[in-house]
Amino acid sequence: MRVLVAGLGNMGRSHAVAWLKQPGAEIVGLVNRSPVELPPELAAIPQSQDYHEALRRLRPDVVVVATYSDSHAEYALAALRAGAHVFVEKPLATTVEDARRVVECAQETGRKLVVGYILRHHPSWQRLITEARALGGPYVFRLNLNQQSSGPTWQVHKALMHTTPPIVDCGVHYVDVMCQITDAAPVEVRGMGLRLSDEIGPDMYNYGHFQVLFEDGSLGWYEAGWGPMMSDTAFFVKDVVSPRGAVSIRMPEDARSDDIDTHTRTSTLRLHRVGEPDQDISMQGEPGHQELCDAEAAFMARAIAEDMDLSRHMQDAVSSLAVCLTADESVRTGQPVRLR
């Protein structure tokens, strides 16, 4: 498989390294809007700055889209129409309409479309979902990911906020987890946000949270904030509560919000059942960030080789994005929004 990788930030580099390890895959080109210094294993691969030119010239079998969110749909559509399978980082698009257009194009062309929901490939998160479902609903979901970013990371966050607020960029992961635990449809979203920095535009907000109500009575809460002012206390809350107990991720005391591996690491799952002693389940030896990107590349390769049906995967990507974009709408209007 001939692979083209577009976008060479943290995620793009990790995806490129992952595809280097895939049997039968060859990275034929890398694309970034500006020249960038790469790790030694990627340095010899030809780089270009024009995505559409590279797509025409290299004719890849697989395109990895890891650019800023506002180009995800455009790049994915171009690759699908050129006959390539597409792996696109989350979120799939910046509007629900564009996300649906990409899914429809994948269905029409018969190409595979995989969205970068990295937690779906994480054994600890798979275990959390299994244990929560075993407890039974209705559920309270308490999830957050606040990042005390500074220096280059804060610069990246400020650039991201031109197209995607924190509750959308990170929120799609955790709404996806909620939807995997409860099979009920989301029915209403209520969002609030606040601009905590003069370094971002007046129409931006770098802190937000929302509540999502589900058809079965389940209630989800998600919170995300970026910037040097964010607290490094309680930055990673992952709780699922039901009438019969709870399952929670417990982080090590030295965990830091600016460590990318912290965003997926679980350390320990605590299983609490009403009337029983709590059970701590060690997640020692779980994969790190690069290993999870390796797993995503392996899943994509397998989906192509085995002609896997990705209909549910694509539907879930659109659904979780719709909830988060509705939350952003609620932040901006100050009103709750009904989904059905």
Same domain, 95 and 124: no
Q: What is the pLDDT of residues 312-331, one digit of tens each?
A: 999 999 999 999 999 999 99
Selection from 225, 220, 174 nearest residue 204 by Cα: 225
Evaluate if residue 104 carries a pLDDT over 60.
yes
Establish if 274 belongs to a structural domain: yes
Q: Number of folded domains in the chain? A: 2
Phi/psi of residue 66, nearest 5 degrees: -130, 40
Residue 221 tokens read as 């809460």
pLDDT at 49: 95
Establish if 47 belongs to a structural domain: yes
Q: Specify the pairing of strand 238-242 against strand 245-250.
A: antiparallel
Same domain, 53 and 176: no
pLDDT: is 233 or 126 the higher one?
126
Establish if 302 belongs to a structural domain: no
Task: State which of 83, 116, 149 marks the end of a domain.
Answer: 116
Q: How many CB atoms lie within 10 A of CB 198?
A: 7
Residue 67 tokens read as 């650019």
Same domain, 263 and 201: yes
Evaluate if residue 257 carries a pLDDT over 80.
no
Same domain, 107 and 131: no
Residue 158 tokens read as 């400020």
Element (H, E) at 155: helix 151-160
Q: Quote the CA–CA distance of 165 and 315 in Å, as a whole number.
A: 22
Residue 187 tokens read as 């029915």
Establish if 303 belongs to a structural domain: no
Q: Give mean pLDDT, residues 164-192.
A: 94
pLDDT at 256: 57
Q: Quote the CA–CA distance of 122 and 314 in Å, as a whole number.
A: 19
Selection from 48, 41, 44, 51 nearest residue 20 by Cα: 41
Establish if 190 belongs to a structural domain: yes
The CATH number for 58's domain is 3.40.50.720
Same domain, 156 and 278: yes
Q: Give mean pLDDT, residues 280-285.
A: 86
Evaluate if residue 75 carries a pLDDT over 60.
yes
Same domain, 111 and 155: no
Q: 261: pLDDT confidence band, cut at 50, 70 and 90?
A: low
Phi/psi of residue 28, nearest 5 degrees: -95, -10
Same domain, 130 and 91: no
Establish if 306 belongs to a structural domain: no
Task: State which of 95, 116, 137 marks the end of a domain.
Answer: 116
pLDDT at 197: 97
Same domain, 60 and 74: yes
Least confident span in 84-98, 147-161, 246-260, 297-311: 246-260
pLDDT at 254: 61
Establish if 299 belongs to a structural domain: no
Same domain, 53 and 29: yes
Same domain, 102 and 128: no
pLDDT at 41: 94
The CA–CA distances, whole Å, from 178 to 15, 213, 273 equal 26, 11, 20
Establish if 316 belongs to a structural domain: no
Q: What is the pLDDT of residues 83-96, one digit of tens each?
A: 999 999 999 999 99
Domain around 203: 120-290+322-338
pLDDT at 252: 63
Q: DSSP per residue over 37-100, as a string?
A: ---HHHHTS-EES-HHHHHHHH--SEEEE-S-GGGHHHHHHHHHHTT-EEEEESSS-SSHHHHH
The CATH number for 329's domain is 3.30.360.10
Selection from 286, 272, 287, 199 nearest residue 240 by Cα: 272
Q: Give mean pLDDT, residues 10-14.
A: 94
Same domain, 128 and 267: yes
Same domain, 152 and 38: no
Task: State which of 69, 99, 116 marks the end of a domain.
Answer: 116
pLDDT at 259: 53
Q: What is the pLDDT of residues 39-51, one digit of tens each?
A: 999 999 999 999 9
Q: 283: pLDDT confidence band, cut at 50, 70 and 90?
A: confident
Evaluate if residue 235 carries a pLDDT over 60.
yes
Three-point CA angle 299, 59, 80, nearest 5°: 55
Q: 258: pLDDT confidence band, cut at 50, 70 and 90?
A: low
